[in-house]
Amino acid sequence: MNPWLILTFLVTLVFTFSTWLQPRAAKWSGGRESDHLMQVLLGDGRKILANHVFVQADVYFHSGYYPSVFDQAYTPTNSSHMTEPGHEEEPGHADGVDNQHETAENHESDHEKEMSFLKEPKDWIEAFGRRFMITEHKHLEAGKEREMLPFLKLSAELDPQRIDTYTVAAYWLSRTLGKTDQAEEFLREGLKANPRSYEILFELGRISYENRKDTARARNLWSAALDRWNEQEPQKEHPNLFALDQILVHLARLEEKQGNYAQAIHWLEEAIAKDATPSPDALRKQIEELKAKMPPK
Amino acid sequence: MNTIFALAGIVIKELYRRKDFYVLFVITAVITLIMASVNVFQEGKIVRYLKDICLLLIWISSLAIAIGTAARQIPAERESRTIFPLLAKPVSRWQVIVGKFLGCWLACGIALVVFYLFFGVVSGAKEGSWPILQYFQAFWLQWAMLGVVVAMVLLGSVLFSAPSANATICLVALTGIFVLGSHLHKLAGTQPAPLAILLSVIYFLMPHLEWFYAARERLVFEQGLIGWGDCGLATLYVAAYVGLFLFLTWLIFRRKILTTG
C-alpha cells in the first residue's frame, strides 16, 4: 500500500478526532482554559505569592525601610498608608476635606507607630550594622511611586481577587503619574474580577470626578459604591468605616460643588449617623456652613 | 611574595578557562535585559525593580563563583597529584594557602568588575544618572565580603572530604548568616538558657556578612553613601576574619598527610 495514502489517512483521522473531541475536552477542565498561565501553574498557591509581591510593593513604598520576618508585630496591618500622600493640600478643596485630612493624619500617626520597629541596638554588632542598613522611614514621593507598579501589576496577575492591588496602583497612576487611562483600564480589570467591590467603584468614581471632570458619572459610581458597601459591610463585626467615610464625604463634596446643598447635607449627616467619621464635629461644622449657603425657603 | 602571586595567577587563568563565569554572566544579562523590556503601564522610568533583580543575580553569581572556585582548589591539586611537585619546589604550605586565597579573591574581583560594569550600563541607561561612588562602594563591600567567603570555603576544603560537601555546607552556613545574622540575638532572647547562650556565642563569633548585603539594598533604594570611615572599619573587620580563616586553614593543612585516595 502507498505509504503517502496511509499518512494522509492518519492525518485525516487525528484531525477529525481533534475537532470532535476538543469541545468535550474543554468541558472536562471546568472552563479553566481561559485562566491565566500563573493560575494554571500555581493553583491557589499563587495567592501566597501575590501577597508576598504586594508586600514587596510596600517595601518599595517605604524605600526599603521595612520590618523583617523577625519584626512581624510591626508589619503594617493594611494598605491604607500606601494611598496617603504626605500633607498635600488640594487647591480649592481645603475646606471640604478637613475631615479627610484629619483621618489621614490619624492613619499616618498610627502608621508611624507601626513602623517604629528599630529599637535601641543591643550590642556593638547591631549598632555598627545599622550604619549599613536603611534606617530612615520615608515614603516614595515626587513621581517615584512608579517604582511600586511592577509589583502591583504582578500581584494582580497572581491574585485578581486582591482588591488593594488595583486601588493602590490606580491611585498613584492617576494622581501622581498622570496616567488616567491606564489607571481606569486597570480598575476595570479589577472590577471584572471583583464585580462587588465598593473600593474599586469608589476609585473609578474618583478618577471620573478628579481627572475626567465627569460629575454625573462620578456620582453614579460613588452611589453604586455606597450601595455595595451597604450590601456587604453593615453585618460585619468590624465594617470598613474608613471606606464609607471616603464615599460619603466625596459624594457630599460633589453635591456641594453642584450646588445641591440639601443632598450634600444628607450625605454628611449619614456619615455622622453611621459613625463613619472619626471627627463628627468637623462634619457638623460643614453642615452648618452648607445650611448657611442654602437659599431661604 | 612572587610565589604567592604566581599561584594566584594560575587560579585567575582557571577562571577564564572554565565556563562558570561566562554562563553566569550570560544568564544575568539575559534575565536583566528581558526584565528591562517589560512594559509596566507604559511607564519607561521604572528602574528600581531592575536594579534589584540585577544586583540579586550578581550576588548569587558572585557567591557561586567564589564558592565554586575556592572549593575545588586544594582537592583538585590533590586529585591530579600536582600538589606533590608544587610542594617539592621551595613553596611552603602557607604560601599555597595564601596564593590560592589571593587567586580566588582576585578572580572574584575581576568577575565583579564585569558584572558591575554591566549593571552600571543597564541601570544608568534606564535611570539617566551614574552614581559612580555608590557603585564603587557597593562593589568594594561585596568584594571584601567575598574575601571571607573564599577564606571560609578554603578552610572547608581542608576539613571536608569532597568539594561538593564543602560547597553545600558553606552555602547553608552563608544562607544562615544572611537570613539570621542580624536577628540571632533577638532569637536568643526568646530561648531557654542553654540554647540562648549557644545562639549568643554563635552571634558574636560569626562574620556578619549581612551588613554587606544591606549595602546592595541602599544602592537599589537610592539611600546615599555609607560613611567611608564605616566602609574602612568593615574592611578591617573582613580582613580579621580572612586572617582567622586562613590561619585555621594553615593549622590544619600544615600537618595534613596528603594522599590521593
Per CB-CB distance under 8 Å, the chain B contacts of A153 are 40-41
Q: Are A146 and B218 inside 8 Å of each other by CB?
A: no
Mean of the per-residue pLDDT values for chain A? Answer: 80
The answer to whether B119 and B58 are in contact (CB under 8 A) is yes
The interaxial angle of helices A45-61 and A149-158, nearest 10 deg, is 170
Say whether pLDDT at B236 is over 80.
yes
Would the CB atoms of A129 and B48 count as touching at under 8 Å?
Answer: no
Are the CB atoms for B234 and A132 separated by under 8 Å? yes
The C-alpha of B35 sits at a distance from chain A's nearest C-alpha, in angstroms, of 10
Counts for chain A of helices (H) and strands (E), in that order: 13, 0
What percentage of chain A exceeds 90 in pLDDT?
Answer: 6
C-alpha cell recorded at residue B79: 586529585
Cβ(B108)–Cβ(B148) below 8 Å: no
Q: Are B139 and B116 in contact (CB under 8 A)?
A: yes
Contacting B residues, span 151-190, partner chain A, CB-CB under 8 Å: 182-183, 185-187
A282 Cβ neighbours under 8 A, 6+ residues apart: A98, A99, A102
State the count of interchain CB pairs (< 8 A) between A and B. 82
Q: What is the pLDDT of residues A156-207, one digit of tens each?
A: 888 888 888 999 888 888 888 888 888 889 999 999 988 888 899 999 999 9
Q: Is the pLDDT of residue A93 over 50?
A: no
Given the cut 0.90, state whether the ipTM is greater than it.
no
CA B221, distance to chain mean position in Å, is 22
Mean pLDDT of B19-27: 90
DSSP string, A63-113: TT----GGGGGGS-SSSGGGG--TTPPPTTTTTTTHHHHHHHHHHHHHHHH
Cβ contact B187:B199 at 8 Å: yes
Helix (H, G, I), strand (E, B), or coil: what is residue A207?
Answer: helix
Q: Which of B108, B117, B119, B109 is nearest to B55 (CA)?
A: B119
The confidence band for A233, taking pLDDT boundaries of 50, 70 and 90, is confident
Structure confidence at residue A2 (pLDDT)? 81
What CATH architecture does domain A218-297 belong to? Alpha Horseshoe (1.25)
Residue A233 is which amino acid? E
- Confirm or reject contact between A146 and chain B (CB < 8 A): yes
Residue with cell 453635591: A255
Domain borders along chain B are 2-254
Q: pLDDT per residue over B124-171, tens digit each?
A: 888 888 889 999 999 999 999 999 999 999 999 989 878 899 999 999
* Residues of chain B contacting residue A118, judged by C-beta atoms under 8 Å apart: none
Report CA-CA distances (Å) from A38 to A34, A46, A240, B53. 12, 7, 31, 20
Q: What predicted TM-score, i.e. pTM, was given to this entire model? A: 0.81
Helix (H) or strand (E) holding A276: none
Look at residue A89 in the predicted model and tell me its pLDDT. 38
- C-beta of residue B65 within 8 angstroms of C-beta of residue B111: yes
Higher-confidence residue of A81 and B56: namely: B56
Cβ pair A205, A250 in contact under 8 A:
yes
Show the cell assigned to A281.
464635629
Q: Give me the mean pLDDT over the B182-211 stretch.
A: 87
The mean pLDDT value for B177-202 works out to: 86
pLDDT of residue B66: 94
Is the pLDDT assigned to residue B54 strictly greater than 90?
yes
CB pair distance less than 8 Å for A151 and B49: yes
3-class SS at A2?
coil
Domain boundaries, chain A: 218-297
One-character DSSP codes across chain B: -HHHHHHHHHHHHHHHHSSHHHHHHHHHHHHHHHHHT--STT-TT--HHHHHHHHHHHHHHHHHHHHHHHHHHHHHHHHTTTHHHHHHSS--HHHHHHHHHHHHHHHHHHHHHHHHHHHHHHHHHHHS---HHHHHHHHHHHHHHHHHHHHHHHHHHHHSSSHHHHHHHHHHHHHHHHHHGGGHHHHHHTS-HHHHHHHHHHHHHS--THHHHHHHHHHHTT--PPPHHHHHHHHHHHHHHHHHHHHHHHHHHHT------
Q: Which residue is it, cell 472536562?
A: A28
- Provide, as residue numbers in chain B, all residues whose Cβ is less than 8 Å from the Cβ of A64: 217-218, 220-221, 223
Which chain A residues touch B187 with a CB distance below 8 Å?
70
B224 in reach of chain A (CB within 8 A): no
